[in-house]
Amino acid sequence: MSEFGGKLQVAGGRSSIPKATCHLPLATCYPRRIVFRSLCRYARKSLWLIALLTLVILQIGCQTADSSWERVQAAGILRVGLDPTYPPFEVDDGGNLYGLDIDLANAIANDLGVDVQFVYFGYDGLYDALATEQV
């Protein structure tokens, strides 16, 4: 190998690679190399983080679906838990239910093609009724 005109010549002359030289003083060239290396490390860490987040998101998407819709379809009844003492959302007027939640539940059941059944719970018991699949 020989050096001619700032280029490194390989014996046989097939390819020449530019000589890697810094024409600036060493004091200004060396910090640039450090910054470049730290940027490369930062980019590698970022790439690993993006890959890890992608895998986590894909695993979340692979979970099985809840069987609630299958139970509603099989029974043909949408059970809705409510506390009828919570106006204007639910009001029980002598056995006649009305309110925003009642209208919404009727519209959803009508859209799904199933009947609706209202189940009375105290306000504090609604979450437990949902957790034990009573509604």
Q: What is the DSSP letter of 13?
A: S
The beta-carbon contacts of 120-123 under 8 Å, at least 24 apart in sequence, are 120/81, 120/82, 120/83, 120/84, 120/92, 121/81, 121/82, 121/83, 122/83, 123/83, 123/85, 123/86
Render pLDDT for 4-32 as a digit per residue (tens, 0 to 9). Answer: 455 555 555 555 555 555 555 555 555 55
Q: What is the DSSP string of 21-63?
A: ---S-HHHHHHHHHHHHHHHHHHHHHHHHHHHHHHHHHHHHTS
Low-confidence ranges of the chain (pLDDT < 50): 1-4
In this prediction, residue 86 carries a pLDDT of: 80
pTM, 2 dp:
0.51
In this prediction, residue 104 carries a pLDDT of: 95
